[in-house]
Amino acid sequence: MSAEAPHLKIKIQLYCGDEIAMGPGKADLLEALAREGSISGAGRALGMSYRRAWLLVDAMNRCWCEPLVATTPGGAAKGGARLTPLGEDVLRRYSELVEQAAGIRDGKDWAALRGLLREMPKVHQKEEV
């Protein structure tokens, strides 16, 4: 059990049909990809398999009007990848959404709720079912 203090998580997901076109995991992957310069490197940096990282990139590239990631052929070992201008724009705007939503942490409602939460949950009672 973690000793983490009570906190608030906000998850923003953009859907295209039934697929998630952008969300926290895909945004992290785009950031890692911009740093690492390849899908395999980005996956490694996030502790994610190449296959998993590739599938996330493929989903993004199919959900937006143009690809967010451009790849250079060469397979997992040699191939490079970079964000397209659209990829950079989408990542920046998604980060803006996340930042705006995070503003609720500064309001009176979260302050009040935070004050009403226990530091840790009470021990589980015997189930009454």
Query: Which residues bind to its own copies, rule: CB under 8 A?
Result: 1-4, 6-19, 21-22, 50-51, 54-55, 58-59, 61-65, 76, 86, 89-90, 93-94, 96-97, 100-101, 103-104, 107, 109-110, 112-113, 116-125, 127-129
Provide the minimum distance between the beta carbon of 39 and its own copies in the complex, in angstroms, as a whole number. Answer: 10
Return the number of the residue (19 or 35) whose C-beta is nearest its own copies: 19
* Max Cα-Cα span within the chain: 60
Provide the minimum distance between the beta carbon of 57 and its own copies in the complex, in angstroms, as a whole number. Answer: 10
For 89, the token pair is 């724009």
Q: How far apart are CA 70 and CA 34, in angstroms?
A: 11
Provide the minimum distance between the beta carbon of 14 and its own copies in the complex, in angstroms, as a whole number. Answer: 6
Q: How far apart are CA 87 and CA 37, in angstroms?
A: 14
Report residue 116 CA to chain centroid gap. Answer: 29
